[in-house]
Amino acid sequence: MTGKDKGKTGEILEIDRKLNRIKVKTINMIKKHLKPTKDNKGGIISKENFINWSNVKNLDVDKKEKKK
C-alpha cells in the first residue's frame, strides 16, 4: 500500500506472526552478497525481504474472476 512497491501484487511466501511481518513474492527485493563456498559459487543475489503487515492489503483473486 505504501513505499517503493506501492500498487504491486504478489503471492505470500512466508508470515512471521511474532514480528508481524510478511514476505511477498517479487516485493521488497534486496541484494545479498554471498561468499564463495564448496557448494555455492558466490556473488550477488536478489531475494525478497519482509515487510510490515500494515503495508499489505488482502486482494481476493476469486472475487475479481467472478465479476468478469
Q: For residues 24 and 28, what is the distance between their CA atoms, to the nearest angstrom?
A: 8
Partner residues linked to 15 by β-bridges:
22
Write down the pTM of the prediction.
0.69
| Residue pLDDT, tens place only, 27-52 | 999 999 999 999 989 899 999 999 99
61: number of Cβ within 10 Å: 9
Sequence-ordered list of residues with C-beta below 8 angstroms from that of 59, at least 6 positions apart, any chain: 9
Domain ranges of the chain: 12-58
Mean pLDDT, the chain, as a whole number? 86
User: What is the band of 5 on the pLDDT scale with cuts at 50, 70, 90?
Assistant: confident
Structural contact between residues 22 and 48, judged by C-beta atoms closer than 8 angstroms? no
At 56 the pLDDT is: 87
Residue 67, C-alpha cell as written in the block: 465479476
User: What is the band of 62 on the pLDDT scale with cuts at 50, 70, 90?
Assistant: low
